[in-house]
Amino acid sequence: DAGVTQSPTHLIKTRGQHVTLRCSPISGHKSVSWYQQVLGQGPQFIFQYYEKEERGRGNFPDRFSARQFPNYSSELNVNALLLGDSALYLCASSLWGSGSGELFFGEGSRLTVL
Amino acid sequence: GIQVEQSPPDLILQEGANSTLRCNFSDSVNNLQWFHQNPWGQLINLFYIPSGTKQNGRLSATTVATERYSLLYISSSQTTDSGVYFCAVSGANSKLTFGKGITLSVRP
């Protein structure tokens, strides 16, 4: 069975541009979460979606947005990119949207902003 | 929000040695997971262990929820065990809060 898949794996953008990252959860999983990991730090929570509804939002500016589609895949959008947005963006899927239940992560999308 | 502290921050071992990694958290949790992050950045699930004890080969983990800590044991360490180990917890929602990680280096 396929795990969590993310695309693209690597990308380079310039300041001010926009980026869209994509995630497909494990088959049967209904919740998708996004995390940002900058070099040397642990991942930081950005968003959680469950059954196409936003269930949680971390401390990130409004330039960050996301959505979940009827097939439970998800997109993370970042507008007006800043140098500080350079990071590994991780997507996680889980069966449910509640606190219990194991999360599984994809390989990540490594974004470099020049 | 929940605070997570991991110790020690760095650990250097000789191949074949045993080690204990610690995770302290500040509030009751519904989820606690241990991950190993490989050099390419992927988080590999080691244990889902909000309470109790589990073992998987040379690795085992124990979470004492009432005392708000978890331990990850690595026995007979191998060079392939090198990398960063994260503890992550969540409360009522699914938002995982990660510790800063423990960097393990196993020397041949």
Mean pLDDT, residues B38-57: 94
Nearest to B41 among A45, A96, A107 (CB): A107
Q: Is the pLDDT of residue A110 over 80?
A: yes
Q: What's the confidence (pLDDT) of residue A100?
A: 66
pLDDT, position A99: 62
Whole-number Cα distances in Å, A23 to A20, A26, A29, A31, A112: 10, 10, 12, 11, 18
pLDDT at B104: 96
Contact (CB<8Å) B42/A104? no
Q: Kindly report, residue by residue over A49-107, the tens digit of the pLDDT.
A: 999 999 999 999 999 999 999 999 999 999 999 999 999 999 999 987 766 689 999 99
Q: Which helix (H) or strand (E) holds B63?
A: strand B59-64
**Residue A107 tokens, joined:** 């390989």
Mean pLDDT of the B18-27 span = 97
B91 confidence band (pLDDT: 50, 70, 90):
confident
The pLDDT assigned to B78 comes to 96
Instruction: List the single residue in B30, B33, B100 with the smallest CB-CB distance to A99.
Output: B30
Residues B18 and B13: their CA atoms lie apart, in Å, by 8
Say whether pLDDT at B22 is over 80. Answer: yes
To test the contact with chain B by mutation, choose from A39, A51, A100, A112 the residue with the greatest count of B C-beta atoms within 10 A, namely A100
Is B30 in contact with A35 (Cβ distance < 8 A)?
A: no
Q: What is the pLDDT of residue A2?
A: 81
pLDDT score of B93: 76
Residue with the larger pLDDT of the pair B87 and B41 = B87
pLDDT > 80? residue B17: yes
Is the Cβ pair B31, A41 closer than 8 Å? no
Cβ-based contacts under 8 A for chains A and B: 77
The per-residue pLDDT for A83 is 97
- Band of pLDDT at residue A1, cut at 50, 70 and 90: low
Tokens found for residue B89: 């917890």
- Give the residue, B52 or B41, on which the prediction is more confident: B52
**Minimal C-alpha gap between B73 and chain A (Å):** 20
- Average pLDDT over all residues of chain B: 95
Residue contact A42–B94, C-beta within 8 A:
no
Q: Would the CB atoms of B97 and A45 count as touching at under 8 Å?
A: yes
Tokens standing for residue A55: 């269930």
